[in-house]
Amino acid sequence: MANRQVTIAARLVGEKWEAVLLQDGKFMRSFVGERGQTLGGVVGGVVAEYISVTYNTGTEIAMNLSITEPDAN
């Protein structure tokens, strides 16, 4: 049985979202959104593409979401 741990981490820098894709703790790819693009626009397509491959019968996929937002000034 193969298990993979996939992490997509993103942060808002100025007016652009920056994101990174890690698989099993190894860097796979980085992404930078366009000015004003939403987080969903940057990360949503990556997630959809990553999980759209053909899997074996019985494959289970679970996602966890963690959001850490600093207090407003």
Total count of domains within the chain: 1
Task: With respect to residue 31, please indicate whether it lies within any of the assigned structural domains.
Answer: yes
**The pLDDT value given to residue 57:** 92
Query: What range defines the domain where residue 24 resides?
Result: 1-68
pLDDT, tens digit (0-9, with 9 covering 90-100), for 63-73:
888 888 888 77
Query: Using CA atoms, how far apart are residues 54 and 39, in angstroms rounded to an integer?
Result: 26
pLDDT, tens digit (0-9, with 9 covering 90-100), for 20-68:
889 898 998 888 889 989 988 888 877 887 888 888 899 888 888 888 8
Q: Over the range 4-14, which residues count as b (16 or more CB within 10 Å of their CB) and which as e?
A: eeeebebeeee
Task: With respect to residue 73, please indicate whether it lies within any of the assigned structural domains.
Answer: no
**The pLDDT value given to residue 27:** 93
**The pLDDT value given to residue 16:** 92
